[in-house]
Chain A
Amino acid sequence: MAEATANGLGQHALHATHAQDAAAHAEVHQEHPIKLYLVVWAWLFILSTCSYLVDYFGLHGYLRWSLILIFMMLKAGLIVAVFMHMAWERLAMMYAIILPPILVLVFVTMMVFEADYTLLTRIAFFGPGP
């Protein structure tokens, strides 16, 4: 490409070399109907409203937590799959990006035990909360 510019070739030649370059790398350009984006957008609004209503109506306990998590996962899934085009990538890419964050759950489990232990020792030494 650098040679083409240096030789003073026109716009057309530039595009031609560019096309060859793209072919060599075999990349995929994605074009989806606009309707798909609008539908996902609408769903994100609906799900956000739902998760806000969980707080507005003051739901409590396991119902609240499970609803928050469900709406959160649905929103995250829609954003990653459609807006970030992950749904159309090859599996090698999907697993390379999506599996590592799931391993954070191991860390979460460890820290749950750690936090419980800290709370226990704090209660043992300082007594229950003020």
Chain B
Amino acid sequence: MAQTTLTHTGQLDRPGGWRGIATDWASDQRAFKNVSWGKAMMWIFLLSDTFIFGCFLLSYMTARMSTRVPWPNPSEVFALRIGGKEIPLILIAIMTFVLISSSGTMAMAVNFGYRRDRRKTAILMLLTAALGATFVGMQAFEWTKLITEGVRPWGNPWGAAQFGSCFFMITGFHGTHVTIGVIFLIIVARKVWRGDFDTGRPGFFTSRRGRYENVEIMGLYWHFVDLVWVFIFAFFYLW
């Protein structure tokens, strides 16, 4: 951590700790002193998304706690037969590893972005997008498998009817997030590759010049998608 470099471009004499919170928020200017508006807005968007996923997981908890019918055992429902042997939850485990790998490559991309290594940044972002697309593909496989086995939002062969609706709602919404992330990763990777952030080329939608910080903001979104999966994996698949 000693090698961590923070390139301050402004004044450095701001107080820390609780006093810092009070002065930052009471300064009648901007509360987030060394964070750009783009990054602050992405964080606030992610906070609102946290509440959306929080509500989904909460409604799942309420449905599962309040049903008299036994909940289907996810360990068996998501098992795959590989080499004549039932391996519990193996597909979900592989999906978890794929998403964590993509988070790692994204973190690397952000790092190389700040080092202004266009080539490595773009390649790592495209690798992240490829891993994300793999994840969505595996999710499509999982959905197909469950639908052919008779899981519907209103019922399933193994137990409580709410299992299907919770499953399709939660994983479907998460899969949508991953898909949107993949699309934007490809867009930002193209910009990096073309050197938009070096030449100050205006964006096609906002006409504003981007910076390498855009890669970090994209990274925030991607890590959030991974973060949500951590919670879904724990509460929906493992519980």
A27 with B4: in contact, given A48-B100, A126-B68 (CB under 8 Å)? Answer: no
Complex Cα–Cα for A32 and B108 (A): 10
A83 with B68: in contact, given A31-B111, A44-B104, A48-B93 (CB under 8 Å)? Answer: no
Complex Cα–Cα for A92 and B35 (A): 11
Contact yes or no, B31 A92, CB < 8 A: yes
Complex Cα–Cα for A69 and B1 (A): 28
B17: CB under 8 A from chain A?
yes
**B residues 69-101 with Cβ under 8 Å of A?**
69-70, 75, 88-89, 93, 96-97, 100-101
Q: Which residue from chain B places its CB closest to the CB of A71 in the assembled complex?
A: B234
Distance (Å) between the CB of B78 and the closest chain A CB? Answer: 10
Contact yes or no, A88 B6, CB < 8 A: yes
**A residues 109-125 with Cβ under 8 Å of B?**
111-112, 114-116, 118-119, 122-123
A72 with B24: in contact, given A28-B34, A32-B4, A37-B107 (CB under 8 Å)? Answer: no
A52 with B114: in contact, given A27-B36, A122-B68 (CB under 8 Å)? Answer: no
Contact yes or no, B18 A111, CB < 8 A: no
Main secondary structure of the interface of B (DSSP, over half): helix
Q: Which residue from chain B places its CB closest to the CB of A34 in the assembled complex?
A: B111
Distance (Å) between the CB of B105 and the closest chain A CB? Answer: 9
Complex Cα–Cα for A56 and B103 (A): 25
Contact yes or no, A89 B35, CB < 8 A: yes
Contact yes or no, A83 B219, CB < 8 A: yes
**A84: chain B residues within 8 A (beta carbon):** 219-220, 223-224
Q: Which residue from chain B places its CB closest to the CB of A14 in the assembled complex?
A: B200
Contact yes or no, B61 A68, CB < 8 A: no
Distance (Å) between the CB of B73 and the closest chain A CB? Answer: 10
Contact yes or no, B34 A51, CB < 8 A: no
A36: CB under 8 A from chain B?
yes
Contact yes or no, B6 A30, CB < 8 A: yes
A114 with B33: in contact, given A51-B233, A72-B231 (CB under 8 Å)? Answer: no
A101: CB under 8 A from chain B?
yes
Complex Cα–Cα for A1 and B89 (A): 55
Contact of B223 among A83, A96, A130 (CB under 8 A): A83
Complex Cα–Cα for A84 and B50 (A): 15
A31 with B67: in contact, given A71-B234, A92-B21 (CB under 8 Å)? Answer: no
Which of B46, B62, B70 gathers the greatest number of chain A CB atoms within 10 Å? B62
Contact of B61 among A56, A71, A108 (CB under 8 A): A108
20 contacts between A and B (CB under 8 A): A26-B9, A37-B111, A40-B107, A72-B234, A75-B230, A76-B230, A79-B223, A79-B226, A80-B223, A82-B107, A90-B24, A96-B32, A97-B47, A104-B54, A114-B66, A115-B62, A116-B65, A118-B62, A119-B65, A122-B66
**Chain B residues within CB distance 8 Å of chain A:** 1, 3-11, 14, 16-18, 20-21, 24-25, 31-36, 40, 43-44, 46-47, 50-51, 54, 58, 61-62, 65-70, 75, 88-89, 93, 96-97, 100-101, 103-104, 106-108, 111, 114-115, 199-200, 209, 213, 216, 219-220, 223-224, 226-227, 230-231, 233-234, 237-239
